[in-house]
Amino acid sequence: MYTVTLNMAGHEHIQKIGSKALQLAKLTGQNVKVPGGFVITSNALERFLEANGLRTPELIGDFESRLIEARLPEDVYDEVTASFESMRGQSESGMMAVAVRSSSSAEDLEEASFAGQYETILNVTDLTHLLNSLKRCWASLFSTRVRDYAQQKNVSSDMGSFPMGVLVQQMVQADVSGVIFSMNPVTHNEDEIIINASYGLGESIVSGLVTPDSYVIGKTDGHIEKELGLKEVKIVAAGKGTVELTTTKEEQNRFCLSDEHIAELVEQTHKIEVFYEMPVDIEFAIKDRHIYILQARPVTT
């Protein structure tokens, strides 16, 4: 089996679907709004490498390019295609965009968080784009960036130690996105929730492209401190992929989160923190006033 639906993946082994997918799958049963999707398991990568003679990357020049140009075995192609078509069939219009996100079991290790080291491709709208994005995620497992990071952290970058799943998830065309820490990551105060938020897709925040609005909320007294960010640009979906736009002066001069949204985000954060029984790091998106949780994981070093 090369794919598994996200809502059925909560009991899969982390080596099969990776940390990101496993954490989200577990939250789907906790009354947390997670965009639906499916996971392409690490078995698919193993099959792909074997079929194309790519098992020993250190012996193959320009390995990443070779991997992206290689063909998917028919059985992997058929199952991924069927899962994608099934997902599209559940959409009211039959048309939808997805986010294709690497989900390695190396992410969120105690000694080294690989967050941001692997590939994510947003606003994928057709099968050809999906299959190319899948191979880009696989190729990122073998990238120089990942190898250098692993070496810096004294962690093995060998695929056998940390296989990769790939999460294909319904894309939220966010009006506002952000990240939450259920403890203050600077002072380590566990009585504070920190929210950073800005307009558009969350890539602008996680990549450091913008200065977001910042909110500090006291868990005990509910007091909110707000700091207006510049929110210089926003990333939004284009016909395919994304585009960077300059925000308007009106957007820059007002807070992007209402007090109602802050209260709901605090409630969701508390629920997720109780589930994990430890402080958590959350990525969220808001579309048409609905809040979606895109990622949740225990806070690591």
Contact assessment for residue 276 and residue 178, using Cβ atoms and an 8 Å cutoff = no
Single out the residue of 249, 259, 170 nearest to residue 215, CA to CA.
259
The whole-number pLDDT of residue 299 equals 85
Burial tier of 13 (Cβ tally within 10 Å: 0-12, 13-18, 19+): exposed
Question: In the structure, what pLDDT confidence band is assigned to residue 49 with cuts at 50, 70 and 90?
Answer: very high
| Higher-confidence position of 232 and 152 | 232
Give the DSSP H or E segment for 193.
strand 192-199
The whole-number pLDDT of residue 31 equals 84
Q: Distance (Å, rounded) from C-alpha 63 to C-alpha 141?
A: 11
**Token pair of 268 as six digits:** 């969701």
Count CB atoms within 10 A of the CB of residue 42. 26
Query: For 67-92, what is each residue's pLDDT tens digit?
Result: 999 999 999 999 999 999 999 887 76
The whole-number pLDDT of residue 114 equals 46
Query: For 13-23, what is each residue's pLDDT tens digit?
Result: 999 999 899 99
Q: Distance (Å, rounded) from C-alpha 230 to C-alpha 252?
A: 6
- CA 121 → CA 111, 124, 137, 199, 204, distances in Å? 26, 7, 8, 19, 14
Single out the residue of 196, 167, 171 nearest to residue 269, CA to CA.
196
The predicted model gives 105-131 an average pLDDT of: 74
Q: Where are the alpha helices (DSSP H) in the chain?
A: 14-17, 19-27, 42-51, 63-69, 74-89, 127-140, 144-152, 203-206, 249-252, 259-276
Query: For 200-218, what is each residue's pLDDT tens digit?
Result: 999 999 888 999 999 999 9
User: Residue 282, SS3?
Assistant: strand
The whole-number pLDDT of residue 229 equals 97
The residues facing 124 across adjacent strands are 98
Query: Residue-wise over 208-242: b if at least 16 C-beta within 10 A, else e?
Result: eebbbbbbebebeeeebeeeebebebbbbbeeeeb
pTM of the predicted model, to two decimals? 0.87
End-to-end Cα spacing for the chain: 34
* Residues in Cβ contact with 11 at an 8 Å cutoff, skipping those fewer than 6 apart: none
- Poorest-confidence range of 17-26, 46-55, 58-67, 152-161? 152-161
Query: For 162-212, what is each residue's pLDDT tens digit?
Result: 689 999 999 999 999 999 999 999 999 999 999 999 999 999 998 889 999
Domains of the chain: 3-170 (3.30.1490.20), 176-298 (3.30.470.20)
The predicted model gives 55-70 an average pLDDT of: 77
* Residues in Cβ contact with 160 at an 8 Å cutoff, skipping those fewer than 6 apart: none
